[in-house]
Structure 1
Amino acid sequence: MAQQLEPHYDKKYKCLMCSHSFTSKKIRSRFVKVVDYDSDFRPIYSTEEINPIFYYVKVCPQCGFSFSDDFQPYFPPNAKEIITEKVCDQWVPHEFGDIRDSRMALQTLKLGAYCGTLKKEKHISMAGIYMRLAWLYRSISNEEQEQRFMKLALKEYTESYMTDDFRGTQVTELRILYLIGELSRRTNQIQQAIKYFSKVIERQNTSTEPKTVEMARERWYEIREKQKETI
């Protein structure tokens, strides 16, 4: 009798910090069903248990260093010493390699954010972690924490755009401009939102991402309509 395929499987990882080999769960892509997207690209899954965001950060069970696939293997000078002192020396061995719920996912994402900050990871990588924290808090209707992490993501996306550190990643310049606009809108920084949505719309003739341009135009009109109502 053929064995039934499970949604989760173990993937081997090597800790960027201490080189310890360990396994952490991932979800097979065939089980991931996206039913919709929010206007900031948050995927809405058909079932909350089958949520790849839960497994975005890997936590080394030996030293506690936590990282995503987007982290660079390079450590700046003194970063390893700082991480050893602030993370590894404080680490109480803990196993995050099994199936996670939203509470564990939030814990691992925060560990990843802390390690990434100490490592001085690229702005684009940090933005990805903060964005996922905001999405998870939205899914459990914690608006205060959602706002907090959207603002942190916005700061990192803006820094990434200014320093060009998104080059060579899957995130395009147009998508960053749109996300800066959308996160500005969601955190009530309306003038900044208009400015960045306009930057996206200005590129409509040269863009290969018509959907992103269309989304920017929709958000821009929404803001304008809202402003008319308040006059």
Structure 2
Amino acid sequence: MDSGYGRLMAASGTFRHPFIPDLPGQEQFQGRALHSLEYQRPEAFVGQRVVVVGAANSAVQIAVELSGTARVSLAARTLVKFTPQRPFGRDVHDWITWARVDQLKLGHLSRLPSPRNVLDPGVYRAAFLQGQVDQRPLFERFTRQGVVWPGGQQEAVDAVVFATGYRPNLRFLFGTGALGTRGEPVQRLGVSLTVPGLYYVGLSGQRAVASATLRGAGPDAEVVTQHLARAFSQRG
């Protein structure tokens, strides 16, 4: 890939390749199984029994929205943790931008609250406390008609919505040596560690907290272009 001055920049994004975990019995489930990317409106689930899988913002938002038209459980391996959306009267994103937390390098994350906490404008925690949505441990397996909960209880389910995140959309790099065993790019700060001349912009966790967002793409690209400039200058 590094013949002559050839370079390849992979900027295909992080949020278009949905990840769905492989759960036992999933292929036999006769209900509807979909990723949050496919979810559009709660009216499609009126009167149904729905399980939403996940514990982050998308899972909670979808579950609460669906609770107005369906009977909903949120199933996850971890408990949902809420963070107020507007501490001290300002949106948390305003505080993050003002304090430049979004530009902190990933090595500083251990000093911050978990980025997986659900931002709550005041309605999501209340919906759980009021019983509109109940949270359960992740079910053990699918059946033809539904799921089996921990402890062996079987329940008929109409639909399962997987709000389980995304993986980098880098399938075009399969077989090049650029990706690890789980399909993740082997890189540091947007520079491939295994394929000379290959660079990335827009990866989640590429450089800082804001990587893969609009606030992070520009600074990430600047780091990559600086590396490119040094590489060209060294080649004369």
TM-score by length of 2: 0.29
Higher strand share: 2
> What TM-score, normalized by structure 1, do the two folds share?
0.29
Structure possessing the higher relative contact order (Cα contacts under 8 Å, 6 or more residues apart): 2
- Greater Rg over alpha carbons, structure: 2
